[in-house]
């Protein structure tokens, strides 16, 4: 005769440690994602009713509301803008500059920058916020 045990051992997987690990991984990735892109220039772009994508390699020129210029996220003074643009587009067959200007700038500020592009025969495209934002 076999003696039966009254209680059987049930195998169990403890997942409480996995919750801690997932929390720390989430926290790690959130912190790293905010540090990964430190050269962000905050601009309020004007709105447009339609969007158009640019497929070429582009050069970004950002102008903040206090008229600070950034060429590919590097600060440039107003006087150095034309020579820096010349050296940046050198060797590019059809240079295209994405002009990211704050919505509070006047039209004259944009025209001044676009005249530099026209003088250097550079195609300039004005960036706008996507529709619905």
**What integer pLDDT is reported at residue 37 of this predicted model?**
61
What is the predicted pLDDT for the residue at 70? 92
DSSP state of 41: P
Question: Which conformational region is residue 91 in: left (phi greater than 0), alpha (psi within -120 to 50 degrees), or beta?
Answer: left
pLDDT, tens only, 39-78: 666 767 777 777 666 546 778 889 998 989 998 888 998 8
pLDDT tens readout for residues 82-124? 898 888 888 777 888 888 888 888 888 888 888 988 898 888 8
In the chain, the domains with their CATH numbers are 59-126 (3.30.420.270)
Q: Residue 30: how many CB atoms within 10 A of its CB?
A: 9
- pLDDT for 128: 80
Evaluate whether 13 touches 94 at the Cβ level (below 8 Å).
Answer: no
Contact 44, 25 (CB under 8 A): no
d(CA 61, CA 95): 13
Res 25 pLDDT > 90: yes
């Amino acid at each position: 005769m076999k003696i039966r045990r009254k209680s059987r051992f049930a195998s169990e997987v403890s997942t409480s440690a996995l919750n801690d690990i997932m929390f720390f991984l989430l926290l790690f990735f959130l912190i790293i994602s905010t540090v990964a892109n430190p050269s962000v220039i905050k601009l309020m772009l004007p709105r447009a009713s339609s969007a158009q994508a640019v497929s070429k390699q582009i050069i970004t020129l950002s102008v903040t509301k206090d008229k600070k210029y950034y060429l590919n996220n590097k600060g440039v003074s107003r006087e150095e803008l034309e020579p820096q643009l010349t050296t940046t587009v050198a060797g590019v067959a059809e240079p295209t500059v994405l002009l990211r200007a704050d919505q509070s700038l006047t039209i004259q500020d944009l025209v001044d920058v676009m005249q530099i592009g026209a003088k250097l025969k550079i195609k300039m495209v004005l960036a706008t916020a996507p529709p619905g934002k």
